Amino acid sequence: MKAITLLTSLCLLLSIFNFAQAQTKTDELVKEWERAKAYTKEYLDAMPESGYDSKPTPEIRSFAEQMLHLTDANYNFAAAVTGVKSPVTDLEKNTKDKSKANVTKLVMEGYDYVIDGIKKIKPAQLNENVKLFGSFDMSKGTALDKLFEHQTHHRGQTTIYLRLEGVNPPSEKLF
């Protein structure tokens, strides 16, 4: 009887430990996305209004378009992971007002959509499979990792845009 009680207690403790570990993963994701949001806001704030339509070369996106592209992906990936339909469609193409104030508002709302979605995900759901863009099979956790990489990549590209406007980019925020 003592062995069964001990075994039951051990199983219960392992369950609690596993749940706490999984919950820590979603908490960490939220924390990292909040950091990314704050870092991106620094980029948006650093660019003068006149630089929002600037392009290093004519064939690439403007600063505003880069930030809206980043935001489109935030909505699309997060919608796939959470199953919550994105409230926006193709901000990069459909946004007429590409002013600093409006782009900043739209980008921050996109980060909030991701963060709010992650907060609603049960930790075990991160292991569920999702098909991105009808082609790529992966876990929901991996899809969020890919999305984080995407927003980091495009924010990083805008460092050159800031430099071309004579602005020092914000210092890196790894922690």
Indicate the helix (H) or strand (E) that contains 160: helix 140-164
Residue 154 annotated as lining a ligand binding site? yes
C-beta separation of 118 from 125 below 8 A: no
> What are the percentages of helix, strand and coil residues in the chain, rounded to 5?
70, 5, 25
d(CA 149, CA 33): 11
- pLDDT over 60 at 7, yes or no: no
Helix (H/G/I), strand (E/B), else coil: 134: coil
Check if the beta carbon of residue 80 is closer than 8 Å to that of residue 132.
Answer: yes
Confidence class for position 3, pLDDT limits 50, 70, 90: low
More confident site: 24 or 159? 159
pLDDT digits (tens, 9 = 90+) for 21-68: 445 889 999 999 999 999 999 999 999 999 999 999 999 999 999 999
Domains of the chain: 26-164 (1.20.120.450)
The yes-or-no verdict on residue 127 having pLDDT over 90 is yes
92 pLDDT more than 60 = yes
| 69 assigned to a ligand binding site | yes
- The pLDDT of residue 126 is 96
Specify whether the backbone of 139 is left (phi greater than 0), alpha (psi in -120 to 50) or beta: beta
Strand-pair partners of 138: 130
> Could you tell me the pLDDT band of residue 13, with boundaries at 50, 70 and 90?
very low
Burial of 159 (0-12, 13-18, 19+ CB in 10 A): middle
- Whether 153 has a binding-site annotation, put simply, is no
Mean pLDDT over all residues of the chain?
90
Q: At residue 67, what is the residue type?
A: M
- Residue 71: pLDDT band (50, 70, 90) is very high
At 174 the pLDDT is 83
Contact yes or no for 120/26 (Cβ under 8 A): no
Q: How far apart are CA 58 and CA 80, in angstroms?
A: 33
| Residue with tokens 């992906």, as numbered in its chain | 73
